[in-house]
């Protein structure tokens, strides 16, 4: 019982996955599939380890998916020829995982966008909304979209291009800085 109580007292580090990340995991034919599955396995190991940790001073991880990401993921998978039923099943399972929160885009984002039109010019709308979600939650963004990564990192430093080993090391370091318990074998990435 003490472990459950200590878990409830924890702070969380929020991870925002963009649609390129989710698609890479869902589509075995995606060029980043193996990398996506590897990063997802890292996340699962970290979540399991930090959840089972008895150290109250350590933080947990919560994955956030803006509803826009699910829409983009479904659209991309449909365009790749994946059957509707398969997409529905994958998204249904994903949306019912306790480690994942699916959020709607808050209307307040619109007012934040209007205050700095010059800063948002280089962004695609979906990239901007994912970036604003990360800012709102002080989260870390995982992506396989190199163009998004290049645009966003100039504006928000906590975005990681999961194909690059150096980026995964930076991601792990940031988790450590935020107090997340990480299994020792993952520290050697």
Task: Report the pLDDT value the prediction gives residue 7, as an integer from 0 to 100.
Answer: 39
Whether 77 has a pLDDT exceeding 80, the answer reads yes
Instruction: Give the CA angle between residues 145, 151, 152 to the nearest 5°.
Output: 85
Record the pTM: 0.85
Task: Report the pLDDT value the prediction gives residue 107, as an integer from 0 to 100.
Answer: 64
pLDDT band at 55 (very low <50, low <70, confident <90, very high): low
Least confident of 39-43, 78-82, 114-118: 114-118
CA distance 30 to 113: 33
Token digits of residue 76: 């991309």
Least confident of 70-79, 154-163, 180-189: 180-189
In the three-class reduction of DSSP (H, G, I as helix; E, B as strand; rest coil), residue 12 is classed as strand
Task: Report the pLDDT value the prediction gives residue 69, as an integer from 0 to 100.
Answer: 93
What would the mean pLDDT of 160-176 be, rounded to a whole number? 92
Q: Any alpha helices (H) in 28-106, and if so which ranges?
A: 33-52, 67-79, 84-95
Whether 56 has a pLDDT exceeding 70, the answer reads no
Whether 67 has a pLDDT exceeding 50, the answer reads yes
Q: Where does residue 76 fall: left (phi above 0), alpha (psi -120 to 50 degrees), or beta otherwise? A: alpha
What would the mean pLDDT of 152-175 be, rounded to a whole number? 91
Q: Which CATH class is domain 2-188?
A: alpha beta
In the three-class reduction of DSSP (H, G, I as helix; E, B as strand; rest coil), residue 136 is classed as helix
Task: Report the pLDDT value the prediction gives residue 184, as an integer from 0 to 100.
Answer: 84
């Amino acid at each position: 019982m003490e472990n459950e109580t200590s878990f409830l007292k924890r702070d969380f580090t929020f991870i925002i996955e963009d649609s390129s990340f989710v698609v890479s995991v869902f589509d075995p034919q995606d060029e980043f599939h193996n990398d996506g599955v590897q990063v997802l396995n890292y996340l699962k190991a970290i979540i399991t380890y930090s959840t089972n940790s008895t150290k109250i001073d350590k933080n947990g991880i919560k994955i956030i998916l803006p509803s826009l990401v699910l829409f983009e993921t479904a659209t991309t998978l449909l365009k790749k020829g994946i059957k509707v039923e398969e997409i529905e099943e994958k998204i249904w399972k994903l949306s019912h995982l306790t480690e994942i929160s699916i959020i709607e885009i808050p209307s307040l984002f619109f007012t934040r966008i209007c205050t700095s039109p010059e800063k948002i010019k280089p962004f695609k709308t979906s990239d901007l909304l994912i970036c604003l979600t990360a800012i709102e939650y002080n989260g870390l963004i995982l992506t396989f979209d190199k163009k998004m990564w290049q645009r966003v990192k100039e504006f928000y430093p906590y975005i990681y291009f999961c194909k690059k080993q150096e980026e995964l090391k930076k991601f792990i370091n940031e988790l450590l800085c935020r107090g997340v318990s990480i299994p020792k074998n993952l520290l050697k990435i």
